[in-house]
Amino acid sequence: MATPWLALLAGPLSYGIAAPALLLDDVARATGTDEQAATAGVTAFGWGIALGTPLLAALLARRGVRAVLTVSAALLGAGTLVLVLVPSVPALVAGAAVQALGSAGLTVTAMKLADSARQMGVVAASLAVVGATGPLTGALVADISSWQAALALPLLAVLAVPAARRGTTSPDAAPASFDPLGMVLLSMLVTAAVLIPHRPLVAGPATVALLLALVAWIKIRPDGFLPAAVAGNGRFLAACASAFALGVVNFALLYAAPDLLREHAGWDSTRSGIVLLAPYLLGGFCSGFLVAASVRVPRRVAATALLVTGAAAPLLAAVTTAVPLLLAAMTLGSLAAATGQGVLALGATGVVPASHKAEALGLFNLAYLLSVAFGPAIAVTFSHPTG
């Protein structure tokens, strides 16, 4: 499959996270609520991609690429239709969640179809670049058309579905036995984990209990929804943990940036949003080249370099008040996360059996996407410690 089509298949997912950033006031007015209620759609989208990633990856492993493309495109279209036609908060939540399920399936499929480090790098870079430009793109589309049109931007990914179907030369995967209990346990675990930053006293213990239950079930059913060959692989889990940590740093800095620039430079949110395009676009574009070049470097060296870069970003942001150095910290965080998503994905799928590559990609992306729930919450905690 041609590389530009892979980028188009994956990249628009980031619009669902980033495009509403400057539109919350418009959404609140249209739905007759406040801005906090309007953010429910973004939260629902985050939950949908976190949950949809392993679910659609399992479908990919069991039914093949064409089945996932069909289901994902249908979910994406249905969710977008609800968002566009029904201007209410319940419809916003339901539509965003369904839209996210479809987006997650298309992104996992794009990573599965990437057959080289260069293509994986382009997929990771497309997600980062779309995320960087998403807020301004969403605002521009809303000015030209409406806020509903801006929320429909993830639908652009379906333009690549025909090319993805044509590029699938191998037959669909043979159906495998279904493990409903494993699927339910993972779904509940993801839901509890996403709620930890908001309801830690309830969601924290629930997450631990569900994790222990899932581990016990994997031992009973090693070939189930979460194969033991993947979930029990130490190197795979290390790659997932590293991706999660890099994502937390990146999203925390992204949400802390406006407050930092307002405090140290006196900039308003609009100016900050425009200026922040530079570090996040630079990180996104450079990540594509770095992922492609990573095959020439030992995996441990590459992983260590990513973690050092990721650790340097928040440290630099914490000790400096100079705007150029703050922007440098944002660049380091973006570069480490975007590059890490591609490099660590290659490493994670390279240490599991080839027959479980789809499940591995799903779990790896789940680990990375969970950082969306934690990074912003950490930023808010440090920005408003008495809140």
Domain extents in the chain: 1-169, 179-224, 227-381
Predicted confidence (pLDDT) per residue in 177-229, tens digit: 678 898 899 989 988 988 888 788 999 999 999 999 999 999 999 988 888 98
* pLDDT at residue 11, rounded to an integer: 92
- Give, for 136, the enclosing helix (H) or strand (E): helix 117-144
Opening angle at CA 127, ends 204 and 58, nearest 5: 60
pLDDT digits (tens, 9 = 90+) for 114-138: 888 888 888 888 888 898 888 888 8
Q: What does the pLDDT read at residue 356?
A: 84
On average, the pLDDT of the chain sits at 86
Q: What pTM did the predictor assign?
A: 0.80
Q: What is the pLDDT of residue 385?
A: 54
Q: How confident is the model at residue 172 (pLDDT cuts 50, 70, 90)?
A: very low
Whether 50 shows a pLDDT value over 90: the answer reads no
Which SS3 state, helix, strand or coil, does residue 276 take? coil
Interval 40-56 mean pLDDT: 85
Q: State the fold for domain 1-169.
A: Growth Hormone; Chain: A; (1.20.1250)
By percentage, how much of the chain surpasses pLDDT 90? Answer: 33
- In this prediction, residue 217 carries a pLDDT of 94
Residue 386 pLDDT more than 50? no
Q: How far apart are CA 288 and CA 342, in angstroms?
A: 8
CA distances from 265 to 172, 250, 269 (A): 55, 21, 12
pLDDT of 376 above 50: yes
pLDDT tens profile 330-342: 999 999 998 998 8
How big is the CA angle at 154 (ends 357 and 260), to the nearest 5 degrees? 95
